[in-house]
Homo-oligomer: A and B are copies of this chain.
Amino acid sequence: MTKVYEVDRLIRHGHTDPAGIVYYPRYYEMINETVEDFFRDVLNLPFGHLHLEQKRGFPLAHMETDFFAPSRCDDIIRFCLTISRLGNTSVTFDIKAVCGDEVRLRARPTQVYLDLQTMQALPLSETIRTRCADYLSPTHDKE
């Protein structure tokens, strides 16, 4: 049974534009923060420790996003994360953001495990791979 990692976000005044809806770059902050929360809570890798102590990072290589319906100030959006692909050096997340029954957006970021000193990709550690496996979708992309 695939686990789903979920985190709620309040849409704030500062996220929204003169049309009263979320200015889309703010959504990418929320998407990145969802992955940051998953790293801290599930992989036990807070981003401060990862970047400043381990000198490693997970920069974005590819992103696909569909926006289905707008969000407004004071909406509470649930970001639901699974994993659609565990590569040798990368992870592809599948994140749906919903408000009640309405799907607001779906994002699929592929992020690469990187040594920040050499800027070379690193194989995912066994710990990362094992902990991510619980969140791997049954319909995940086979390598």
Contacts and interface: CB of A to CB of B under 8 A. Distances in A.
Contacts of A141: none
A88 interface: no
Interface in A14-64: 14, 16-21, 23-26, 28-29, 32-33, 36, 40, 46-49, 51-52, 57, 59-64
A128 to B, nearest CB: 17
Contacts of A28: 24-25, 28
Contact of A51 (B24, B29, B36, B73): B73
A12 interface: yes
A23 B116 CA distance: 14
Interface string A108-137: 000000001001000000000000000000
A63 B61 contact: no
A2 interface: no
Contacts of A23: 13-14, 32
Nearest to A21: B59
A42 to B, nearest CB: 15
A49 B36 CA distance: 28
Given A12-B33, A25-B28, A59-B67, 12 more contacts: A13-B32, A13-B51, A14-B29, A17-B51, A19-B51, A24-B63, A40-B74, A46-B74, A48-B74, A52-B73, A63-B64, A70-B119
What are the 8 A-B residue pairs with the smallest beta carbon separation, nearest first?
Answer: A48-B73, A48-B74, A25-B28, A13-B47, A25-B29, A63-B65, A46-B74, A18-B20
